[in-house]
C-alpha cells in the first residue's frame, strides 16, 4: 500500500492549495478528487464560471445600453448564448488544466475517485473500475459544500435549478424566479437580467445581501432596479410547482398578508450552501458533525482525531475560496512545524455584480452591537473624475474608524472595481492604519482608488475634496 505524509480529500481551493504548500515544504503528498477535473466548486461550478458569465453579460448589457453614449453605434448585434456558454466552458477548462499541471509540477499524486476513511490512517479510493487503498500520517478533509435544499422545493435540475445548472444554461430564460437575495442570487440574477430575462427575487430578510453592511444592500438594490429586477423582500417561499416548462413559486409575506405566486420558466434556488461530507465514512474514525453539518475543528484546524484535519467550506466560517486557500496554506505550514496565523476578520466579502460590492472588517451593525464608538467617512463615486469618465457613478466607499484612535475598523464599498480595492482595505487594516494614514498617502489620479483616499479624508476630519 502506498504511504504518504499527507493525503488531502477534495481538490477545491482549500485542497489543491494545501497540497501544493505541503509539497513545497517537502512532504510526500497525495490528493483525491471524485470528479474527473480538479479545482472543486470554485473552478468548475462556482467562482470562475460565474465571473466569466458576469463579464460576458456585462459587455452585452453595455453594448445595448451604453455604447451609443460613447458614440459607438452597433447595428444588428445578436446574442449567441451557445457561444457565450462555450467561452465559459473554455475558461473553466484552462483553469482546471492549470491545476492538473501544478499537481504534476509539484510531484503531487492525484487519485480520481471517492475517498472514504477505512481508519484514521487509511483511505479507500473508490474508482470507476476498482477500489484502491492508501496510507497517510496526516489526512485533510477538504470536501467543500453543496447547495442547500428547501422544504417544499424539489430541485429537478431542469427547471428548478441551483447555481450548478444555471451556469450551464444554453438558453436565456424568459422569466427567472430566484429564491434567495444573497450573493448567488444577485450575481446570477444580474447575469440573466442583463441578457434580457425578467428576473424576480424572493428574499426572506428585509434586505438583499443581508449579511453585509445594510447600506450596501440598499444601494445595490437601487442599482439593480436598472436591470428591471423585481424584489419581494420579507417573503417566505412555501413551495414551488412545475407544469411542463413552467414553474410557479408560491410565497407569503413573513409578517402576514396576501400570499403571492410568481411564474417563470426557471426557478433558481440560492438560499445558501451546506457542508459536504457524504460518503466520507466519518463514522469509521468517530468524527461527529456539528449542528450545521460542519466538521468541528480547533484553532489548529484539527478534528477530534489528532492526525485528521479539515479546511474550507466543510468547516465553520465564511464559505469563500480565499478563506479555504488561507486555511490550506496555514495547515500545511502547521504540519511542517511553523506557526502561521489567519486573520479571519480581514477575509473580504465580495459580490461581483455591477456595481461590485466589498466588505472588509466591521459593518456599522457590528460596531453598534459591540458598542464600539466609531466615526464614518463616505465618498460617492459620482463625485470622482475617473468614475465620470467611464460612466460608472453608482455607489460609495464608507470608512468606519475608531472614534478615538482613528484606526480603520471596517471598509464597506459598493462601486466600480471595488472588488480589487478590497486589497487596499486589507493591507491598511492588517497594518492597523488610521484613516489619516491612508488620507496622507498618494493615490494615482484618476483612479477609482482615489475614492478610498477621499473616504479616509472624510473620516479624518471631514476633509474630502469633490472632483
Catalog residues that contact ligand FAD under the rule CB under 6 A.
9-15, 32-35, 40-42, 46-47, 50, 114-115, 142-145, 163, 184, 276, 279-280, 312-313, 319-322, 324, 352
Order of all β-strands in the sheet with 246-253: 235-243, 246-253, 260-264
- Residue 181 interface partner, choices ligand FAD, ligand NAD, none, CB cut-off 5-8 Å depending on type: ligand NAD
Work out what residue 271 binds among ligand FAD, ligand NAD, none; the CB cut-off runs from 5 to 8 Å by kind.
ligand NAD
Which C-beta is closer to ligand NAD: that of 40 or that of 113?
40
Instruction: Give the bridge partners for 412, in sequence order.
Output: 359, 398
Closest distance of CB 219 from ligand FAD, Å: 20
DSSP letter (8 states) at residue 438: H
CA dist., res. 423 & res. 433, Å (int): 14
355 binds, among ligand FAD, ligand NAD, none (CB under 5 to 8 A by kind): none
Identity of the residue, 41 or 85, whose beta carbon is nearer to ligand FAD in the bound complex: 41
For ligand NAD, give the closer residue by CB, 29 or 50.
Answer: 50
351 binds, among ligand NAD, ligand FAD, none (CB under 5 to 8 A by kind): ligand NAD
445 is catalytic: yes
Of 122 and 221, the one with the shorter C-beta distance to ligand NAD is 221
Which residue, among 111, 153, 94, 107, has the nearest Cα to 271 in the 3D structure? Answer: 153
Instruction: Tell me the closest approach of the beta carbon of residue 293 to ligand NAD, in angstroms.
Output: 14
Helix, strand, coil percentages, rounded to 5, for the chain: 35, 25, 40
Nearest-10 crossing angle of helices 47-65, 81-105: 150
Query: How is 252-309 classified by DSSP, letter by letter?
Result: EETTS---EEEEESEEEE-S-EEE--TTS-GGGTT----TTSPPP--TTSB-SSTTEE
Least gap, CB of 78 to ligand NAD (angstroms):
29
| φ, ψ at 19 (rounded to 5°) | -60, -45
Q: How far is the CB of 235 from ligand NAD (least distance, A)?
A: 7
Closest C-alpha among 10, 234, 35, 239 to residue 142: 10
40 binds, among ligand NAD, ligand FAD, none (CB under 5 to 8 A by kind): ligand FAD
Nearest residue to ligand NAD, using CB? 182
Catalytic residue, chosen from 65, 70, 300, 445, is 445
By the criterion CB under 6 A, which residues form the site for ligand NAD? 150, 179-185, 187, 202-205, 210, 236-237, 270-273, 318-320, 350-352
Which one of ligand FAD, ligand NAD, none is in contact with 180 (Cβ closer than 5 to 8 A by kind)?
Answer: ligand NAD
Least spacing, CB of residue 173 vs ligand NAD, in Å:
18
Q: By C-beta, is 351 or 459 nearer to ligand NAD?
A: 351
**Cβ atoms < 10 Å from Cβ of 134:** 21
* Contacts (Cβ under 8 Å, ≥6 apart) of 143: 9, 10, 275, 276, 277, 280, 314
Question: Which is nearer to ligand NAD, 237 or 421 (by Cβ)?
Answer: 237
Contact 82, 195 (CB under 8 A): no
Smallest distance from ligand NAD to CB 332, Å: 23
Residue 276, contacted partner among ligand NAD, ligand FAD, none, CB below 5-8 A by kind: ligand FAD
Which residue(s) pair with 92 in the sheet? none
**Minimum CB–partner distance for residue 182 and ligand NAD (Å):** 2
The region, left, alpha or beta by phi > 0 then psi within -120 to 50, assigned to residue 435 is: alpha
Nearer to ligand NAD, 249 or 435 (CB): 249
Q: Give residue 286's Cα distance to chain centre.
A: 31
The set of catalytic residues is: 445
Amino acid at each position: 500500500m502506498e504511504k504518504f505524509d499527507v493525503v488531502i480529500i477534495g481538490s477545491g481551493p482549500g485542497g489543491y492549495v494545501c497540497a501544493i504548500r505541503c509539497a513545497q515544504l517537502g512532504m510526500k503528498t497525495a490528493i483525491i478528487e471524485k470528479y474527473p477535473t480538479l479545482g472543486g466548486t470554485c473552478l468548475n461550478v462556482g467562482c470562475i464560471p460565474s465571473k466569466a458569465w458576469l463579464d460576458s453579460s456585462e459587455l452585452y448589457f453595455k453594448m445595448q445600453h451604453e455604447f451609443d453614449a460613447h458614440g459607438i453605434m452597433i447595428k444588428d448585434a445578436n446574442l449567441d448564448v451557445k457561444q457565450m456558454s462555450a467561452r465559459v466552458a473554455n475558461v473553466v477548462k484552462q483553469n482546471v488544466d492549470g491545476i492538473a499541471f501544478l499537481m504534476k509540477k509539484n510531484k503531487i499524486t492525484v487519485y480520481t475517485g471517492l475517498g472514504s476513511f477505512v481508519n484514521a490512517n487509511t483511505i479507500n479510493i473508490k474508482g470507476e473500475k476498482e477500489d484502491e487503498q492508501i496510507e497517510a500520517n496526516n489526512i485533510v478533509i477538504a470536501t467543500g459544500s453543496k447547495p442547500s435544499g428547501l422544504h417544499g422545493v424539489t430541485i429537478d435540475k431542469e427547471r428548478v435549478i441551483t447555481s450548478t445548472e444555471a451556469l450551464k444554461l444554453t438558453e436565456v430564460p424568459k422569466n427567472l424566479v430566484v429564491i434567495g437575495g444573497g450573493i448567488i442570487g444577485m450575481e446570477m440574477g444580474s447575469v440573466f437580467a442583463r441578457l434580457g430575462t425578467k428576473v424576480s427575487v424572493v428574499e426572506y430578510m428585509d434586505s438583499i445581501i443581508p449579511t453585509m453592511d445594510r447600506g450596501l444592500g440598499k444601494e445595490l438594490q437601487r442599482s439593480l432596479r436598472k436591470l428591471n429586477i423585481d424584489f419581494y423582500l420579507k417573503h417566505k417561499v412555501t413551495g414551488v410547482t412545475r407544469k411542463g416548462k413552467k414553474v410557479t413559486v408560491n410565497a407569503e409575506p413573513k409578517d402576514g398578508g396576501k400570499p403571492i405566486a410568481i411564474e417563470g420558466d426557471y426557478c433558481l434556488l440560492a438560499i445558501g450552501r451546506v457542508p459536504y461530507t457524504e460518503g466520507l465514512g466519518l463514522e469509521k474514525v468517530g468524527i461527529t458533525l456539528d449542528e450545521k453539518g460542519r466538521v468541528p475543528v480547533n484553532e489548529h484546524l484539527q478534528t477530534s482525531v489528532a492526525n485528521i484535519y479539515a479546511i474550507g467550506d466543510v468547516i465553520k466560517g465564511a464559505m469563500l475560496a480565499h478563506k479555504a486557500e488561507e486555511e490550506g496554506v496555514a495547515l500545511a505550514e502547521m504540519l511542517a512545524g511553523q506557526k502561521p496565523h489567519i486573520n479571519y476578520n480581514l477575509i473580504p466579502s465580495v459580490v461581483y455584480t455591477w456595481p461590485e460590492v466589498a466588505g472588509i472588517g466591521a459593518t456599522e451593525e457590528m460596531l453598534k452591537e459591540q458598542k464600539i464608538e466609531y466615526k464614518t467617512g463616505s465618498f460617492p463615486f459620482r463625485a470622482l473624475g475617473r468614475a465620470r469618465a467611464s460612466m460608472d457613478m453608482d455607489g460609495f466607499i464608507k470608512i468606519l474608524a475608531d472614534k478615538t484612535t482613528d484606526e480603520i475598523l471596517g471598509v464597506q464599498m459598493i462601486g466600480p472595481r471595488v472588488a480589487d480595492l478590497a486589497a487596499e482595505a486589507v493591507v491598511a487594516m492588517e497594518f492597523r492604519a488610521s484613516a489619516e494614514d491612508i488620507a496622507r498617502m498618494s493615490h494615482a489620479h484618476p483612479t477609482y482608488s482615489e475614492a478610498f483616499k477621499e473616504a479616509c479624508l472624510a473620516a479624518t476630519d471631514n476633509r474630502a475634496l469633490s472632483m
